Amino acid sequence: MSKLTPEQILAELQPIFREVLEDPKLVVDMHSNASTTPNWDSLAHIDLIEMIEQQFKVKFALGELQDLKNVGDLVTLLAQKSQ
Amino acid sequence: MVEHMDERGTGESASPVVIEQMVNEQTLAGLSLSELLMRRRGLRRQLAAKAGLHPVRIAVMSSSTPGELIHLLELWLLASGFAPTFYTPEFGRYYVDSVHDTQALVEFKPDIVYVHTSVLDVQGRVPMQATEEQFAALVKSEVARFEEIWQSVAEKLGCIILQNNFELPPVAMLGNLDGTLPGGRTRLAMELNREFAAASAKNPKLLLIDICSISARVGLDRWFDPRRWYSYKILTTAEANRALAMALHATIRAVYGKTRKVLVLDMDNTLWGGVIGDDGVDRIQIGNETPMAEAYTAFQQYCLGLRERGILLAVCSKNNEEIALQGLEHPESVLKREHFASFQANWDPKHENIARIARELNLGADSFVFVDDNPAERAIVAAQVNGIAVPEVGSDVTQYARIIEEGRYFEAISFSAEDLGRSALYAENSQRDAFEAKFADYGEYLDSLEMVAEIAPFKPVYLERIAQLTNKTNQFNLTTRRYTLAEMEQRANDPDCIALYGKLKDRFGDYGLISVVLGHRTGDALEIDLWLMSCRVLKRGMEAAMLDTLVEAAESRGITELRGTYLPTAKNAMVAEFYPSLGFQQEAKPSAELPEGATRWSLDLRRYSKQNQHIQRMEFSHV
């Protein structure tokens, strides 16, 4: 994968969040997390991770999954992995 | 048949047909895993909006988090016309909530209880140095735990139970010994699977979901995902859950009598290679003579196997009926006309023919599976015929059976004796018994092979193979003379020539056309110009059977002597002693024009007695 900027990654994540959280108008930002975003429960989280892995063709390590606190962490991690 | 549709003026283009399609099983099967996950919610909404769905209540008693599995299963069930409602207790409570705290389960009133467990749930630990006694005790206690579940569900609910067996463990610490030693987890899984199979065989309401083979098809390394287990208590990958959901869906369809019953087959490039109307029956690819022909033969055998287990076969082909029938009359065609419950070969659109088949068989087309190598035909049929399954089989015959299997269209929950074609099964068993016996000598071994040969004058349908075999056989070849197809044809039609081919098959398979003998008359003698055989059938006694037939043919023409020549080459030393081994006498004075090392042989037919002892002779097409 060619190198993506954090903004590009965030833009690619938007449709996944909208689909999984079933909100076509949703816009997440770097600070969004499960407690501030409607419908982001544990089941949705599993779907999000699976779809992001499929879409970006990456696999998150166990430790990486554990350390994710918000969308910004996710973007940073994807930026690292896509280098 | 892809190639010639347009020329035949059927008015359909071979390019993919774009037709507004309902979301159905087909749609789901066509999606990649990531597309499926991405579109799941939208698809679910579309499917759930359909009218007339059949409600079904399913309790999933799981040792792990079943959410993803249930979402996928829900999609497939919706596509099949079910409206499922699920009940899932807290993960890991599958035993307690099925046996002791059963109130919630009972109140849910399930139609089906699925006990979803994994090899990693087996509770007892066998030490690696376990004895056979410890192993047996563990198996017993594990089976007893599950029997409690089955019994409790039977008593309190009386509903259908789906119980999966066990995958092989993700790690096998004892390596190859893991399956053999009493301390091996692999052996434990295999033994439990045997016990579960036995329990299921005795209990018509306990249906086994064969996770052991489902996981093997996906691959164990792609089945388990420890990251998901530690993160969310899901044991398996999304890919694994999709495979399991599809298997559960197929069994649930079967529970409700929605198993598919008919396999509708195209002919050209589906049942044989080539287009019979253009290429002619002699040139279609079927039989054992080319790799392609072998692959089509294998697919025909697969179809015949489905028929033997009770699936009806039907033909739906764009062909003249008369020409299409010639394909089934081809001597190598495994499938014959009598195997087909309905036969539609004409130039009408395929969906119209499928409607005819449905009327003729008095079955709904929603119990049909349609197989055609042509994507345009598949698209039209899928769009025009409600409920029909049209697997994307592609155009590679080696993949057809696998892709059909993947769809699990013919999943059944039991087989009646009629389904199984009992007589065929018995015949097979008795053959196997015979083979286990020991042999006193080589002749007895040959007899046990149950060889059958077809030895006959050249037929047009085989001339190409005869020329091919003649021009590539170097070892078992007395004269190594080469002939073109035209020369072979000319000899086949010459009344002064005897031209025989031999085909052989035995209990292990069909070797195809493997021997050629060619001779011409000179006075009262037959001069053998060519005698060759494929080394695949060496030491089978095929030479003796060929000689017997050659002698019969010669005698019927009043010939009293056979004469043959051995012409040595760098490769055919193995047949230097061939003629004497059959009783030929060496001619004292070889003629001067023979090359160095060549020998001349003759056989007096007035004192000939039959030599073949181990091969039964008959015409294959009538077998």
- Which residue of chain A comes nearest to B237, CA vs CA? A50
3-state secondary structure of B115: strand
State the pLDDT confidence band at B419, using cuts at 50, 70 and 90. Answer: low
Residues of B in contact with A14 (CB under 8 A): none
How do the domains of chain B map onto residue ranges?
31-255, 262-420, 450-622
- pLDDT above 70 (res B11): no
Judged by average pLDDT, the poorest of B219-223, B271-275, B375-379 is: B375-379
- Specify whether the CB–CB gap between B92 and B120 falls below 8 A: no
- pLDDT above 50 (res B5): no
* CATH 3.40.50.1110 corresponds to the domain B31-255: yes
State the smallest CA–CA distance between residue A9 and chain B in angstroms. Answer: 17
- Which residue of chain B comes nearest to A24, CA vs CA? B42
Contact A51 B227 (CB under 8 A): no
Give the list of residues 6+ apart from residue B294 with CB closer than 8 angstroms, or none: B287, B288
> What topology is assigned to A6-81 in CATH?
1.10.1200
Report pLDDT for B591. Answer: 67
Tell me how far apart the alpha carbons of residues B117 and B120 are, in angstroms, rounded to a whole number.
8
Report pLDDT for B1. Answer: 38
Mutate one of B224, B227, B230, B237 to test the A interface: name it (highest A CB count within 10 A).
Answer: B227
Nearest CB to A46; choose among B41, B42, B232? B232
Report pLDDT for B19. Answer: 37
CA proximity to B14, closest of B395, B576, B466: B395
B225 touches chain A (CB under 8 A): no
pLDDT tens digit string along B497-544?
A: 999 999 998 876 778 899 999 999 999 999 999 999 987 787 789 999
Phi/psi for B421 (5° steps) reads: 60, 70
How far, rounded to the nearest angstrom, does the alpha carbon of residue B581 sit from its chain's CA centroid? Answer: 41
Q: Average of pLDDT values for B155-173?
A: 94
Q: What angle do CA B422, B409, B27 make, to 5 degrees?
A: 170
Residues of B in contact with A22 (CB under 8 A): 41
pLDDT tens digit string along B537-573?
A: 877 899 999 999 999 999 999 999 999 999 998 778 8
List, in sequence order, every beta strand (DSSP E) within B19-152: 54-62, 82-87, 112-116
B228 touches chain A (CB under 8 A): yes
State the pLDDT confidence band at B90, using cuts at 50, 70 and 90. Answer: confident
Tell me how far apart the alpha carbons of residues A81 and A48 are, in angstroms, rounded to a whole number.
17
Q: Is B263 exposed, middle or buried (0-12, 13-18, 19+ CB in 10 A)?
A: buried
Tell me how far apart the alpha carbons of residues B519 and B273 are, in angstroms, rounded to a whole number.
34
Helix (H) or strand (E) holding B426: helix B422-436
Report pLDDT for B376. Answer: 85
- pLDDT above 50 (res B614): yes
State the CATH class of domain B262-420.
Answer: alpha beta
How do the domains of chain A map onto residue ranges?
6-81
Tell me how far apart the alpha carbons of residues B211 and B224 are, in angstroms, rounded to a whole number.
12
Q: Average of pLDDT values for B576-601?
A: 86
Report pLDDT for B473. Answer: 83
Whether B262-420 shares its CATH topology with B450-622 is answered no
Tell me how far apart the alpha carbons of residues A32 and B563 are, in angstroms, rounded to a whole number.
96
State the pLDDT confidence band at B439, using cuts at 50, 70 and 90. Answer: low
State the pLDDT confidence band at B621, using cuts at 50, 70 and 90. Answer: low
Give the list of residues 6+ apart from residue B164 with CB closer than 8 angstroms, or none: B114, B115, B116, B117, B208, B209, B210, B211, B244
pLDDT > 70 in chain B, percent: 91
- pLDDT above 60 (res B65): yes
Q: Average of pLDDT values for A75-79?
A: 94
Report pLDDT for B297. Answer: 97
Helix B33-48 × helix A6-20 angle, to 10°: 30
State the pLDDT confidence band at B425, using cuts at 50, 70 and 90. Answer: very low
Judged by average pLDDT, the poorest of B27-36, B109-118, B259-268, B344-353 is: B27-36
Report pLDDT for B22. Answer: 66
Report pLDDT for B486. Answer: 84
Residues of B in contact with A20 (CB under 8 A): 41
> What topology is assigned to B450-622 in CATH?
Aminopeptidase (3.40.630)
What's the complex ipTM? Answer: 0.84
CA proximity to B113, closest of B91, B86, B79: B86
- Specify whether the CB–CB gap between B129 and B110 falls below 8 A: no
Report pLDDT for B120. Answer: 85
Tell me how far apart the alpha carbons of residues B474 and B472 are, in angstroms, rounded to a whole number.
6
Tell me how far apart the alpha carbons of residues A10 and B185 are, in angstroms, rounded to a whole number.
45
pLDDT tens digit string along B455-503?
A: 999 998 898 889 888 887 888 999 999 888 888 888 989 999 999 999 9
Q: What angle do CA B539, B542, B544 make, to 5 degrees?
A: 105
- Specify whether the CB–CB gap between B23 and B46 falls below 8 A: yes
Report pLDDT for B34. Answer: 86
Regarding beta strands B585-586 and B206-209, do their DSSP bridges make them parallel or antiparallel, or are they unpaired?
unpaired
State the pLDDT confidence band at B622, using cuts at 50, 70 and 90. Answer: very low
Cα distances (angstroms) measured from residue B598 to each of B508, B586, B591: 37, 11, 10
Report pLDDT for B422. Answer: 32
Tell me how far apart the alpha carbons of residues B530 and B516 are, in angstroms, rounded to a whole number.
7
Regarding beta strands B160-164 and B206-209, do their DSSP bridges make them parallel or antiparallel, or are they unpaired?
parallel
- pLDDT above 60 (res B203): yes
Tell me how far apart the alpha carbons of residues B244 and B148 are, in angstroms, rounded to a whole number.
24
Tell me how far apart the alpha carbons of residues B475 and B571 are, in angstroms, rounded to a whole number.
5
List residues of A whose CB lies inside 8 A of any B CB.
Answer: 16, 19-20, 22, 42-43, 45-47, 50-51, 54-55, 59-62, 65-66
Judged by average pLDDT, the poorest of A44-48, A68-72, B5-9, B504-508 is: B5-9
- pLDDT above 90 (res B330): yes
